Amino acid sequence: MNGLLVVDKRAGVTSHDVVAIVRRATGERSIGHLGTLDPMATGVLPLLLGKYTRLAQFFNSSEKSYDGTIRFGFATNTFDAEGEAVAEHKPLTHSLAELRELATCFHGEIDQIPPVFSAKKIQGVPAHKLARAGVEVPVKAARITIHNFELLSLEGEEANFSMCVSAGGYVRSVAHELGQLAGCGAHLSALRRTKAGHFALAQAITVDELKSLTVAAIEARLPHPRTLLPEMPSITVDDQTAGRLRNGMQVNLPDFSQAPLVKIFTSPVDLLAIGRRVAGTLMQPIVVMG
């Protein structure tokens, strides 16, 4: 099965668990997810299947949107509810308006330090594995962009929020740092990803649905190939041109207003390659699906 499947991940399973479930449901062995979700988090988890795993590099810059809850009063070592408290409870004394003022520090481009317990790799090893083994994890700050961070309500010591953040951003880190600014500590207590790039919950299939549908029914839920990577124009080529592309040869294609990358099809639904503009109308295939 070749394509992109949008799964609505449930709480309590890892992104790797979801990949295993999809393998069993589809029979496809080559599967990769586009941006991991922590076990406690739910929501949109796009998966590339089959030959489409070769396209992962083009999805790396996708923004992600979330709804969630921040629990004030104490921080945890993982920055979320799955971790251990690192200090005694300290009451929240700020109002919603005051917390919103503090939250303005997290708008726009910021340098963010990832959680020690994360999937970020340190010399090829996931940071969370090193942390659980008691090894000191040398995490470095990363430049990210938070396009929107809105505290929607405050009930007791829990604030509901919405956020849109660039690729590589950690919502847990924002919750932790906001707690530091509030002087009482905080951690992420709930998180639901509502959108990843162009993929939203309305397109997603649940894990329970995956287990009950036939392979054909699952394949029917895959977005149309031409809707993927919408920033790239599409073109359909003839057999002779397709043969040259399969051999890695450069070809001349119509001008797409100087678009740097183009999706190249051999039929309305069969994606053959991604081409990069060399000069004028000359295109070099940089990924060939076969």
Q: Measure CA of the first residue to CA of the last residue in the chain; give whole Å.
A: 14
Q: Do 263 and 249 meet the contact criterion of CB atoms below 8 Å apart?
A: no
Rounded (10°) CA dihedral 217, 220, 222, 227? -170
> Is 238 tagged catalytic?
no
Q: Give CA–CA dist 160/145, Å, rounded.
A: 20
The tens digit of pLDDT for each residue in 236-258 reads 999 999 999 999 999 999 877 67
Paired sense of beta strands 108-112 and 64-72, if any: unpaired
Burial of 52 (0-12, 13-18, 19+ CB in 10 A): buried
Residue (of 134, 90, 89, 142) closest to 115 by Cα position: 142
Can you give the length of the chain in residues? 290
What is the token pair recorded at 204? Answer: 């997603």
Q: How many CB atoms lie within 10 A of CB 143?
A: 11
Q: Point out the catalytic residue in the list 8, 38, 239, 255.
A: 38
pLDDT at position 34: 87
Q: Give CA–CA dist 170/14, Å, rounded.
A: 16
Tens digit of pLDDT per residue, the chain (290 long)? 999 999 999 999 999 999 999 999 999 999 998 888 989 999 999 999 999 999 999 987 789 999 999 999 999 999 999 999 998 999 999 999 999 999 999 999 999 988 876 666 555 666 556 556 566 666 788 899 999 999 999 999 999 999 999 988 999 999 999 999 999 999 999 999 999 999 999 999 999 999 899 999 999 999 999 999 999 999 999 999 999 999 999 999 987 767 899 999 999 999 999 999 998 889 999 999 97
What are the chain's domains? 3-61+198-223 (3.30.2350.10), 64-193 (3.30.2350.10), 227-288 (2.30.130.10)
Q: Do 16 and 37 meet the contact criterion of CB atoms below 8 Å apart?
A: no
What is the token pair recorded at 289? Answer: 């699906």
Q: Is 43 left (phi over 0), alpha (psi -120 to 50) or beta?
A: left
pLDDT at position 18: 94
The tens digit of pLDDT for each residue in 50-81 reads 999 999 999 877 899 999 999 999 999 999 99
